[in-house]
Amino acid sequence: MWYKREAEHLILHLYVQPGAKKTEIVGIHEGELKIRLNTPPIEGRANKELLKYVAQILKVPLSQVVLKRGDKSRHKVLLVKNSLVDPNVLF
Note the pLDDT tens digit of each residue in 16-33.
Answer: 999 999 999 999 999 999
Compute the distance between CA of residue 67 and CA of residue 80 in angstroms, rounded to an integer: 9
Dihedral through CA 70, CA 50, CA 17, CA 14, nearest 10? Answer: 50
Contact between 54 and 66 under an 8 Å Cβ cutoff? The reply is: no
* CATH number, domain containing residue 30: 3.30.1200.10
Residue 78: CB atoms within 10 Å: 23
Question: Would 89 be classed as within a structural domain?
Answer: no
Question: Would 91 be classed as within a structural domain?
Answer: no
Question: Would 67 be classed as within a structural domain?
Answer: yes
pLDDT for position 83: 87
pTM of the model: 0.93
Question: Would 31 be classed as within a structural domain?
Answer: yes
Domain of residue 13, residue span: 3-83
Tally of domains within the chain: 1
Confidence of residue 88 (pLDDT cuts 50, 70, 90): confident
The average confidence (pLDDT) of the chain is 95
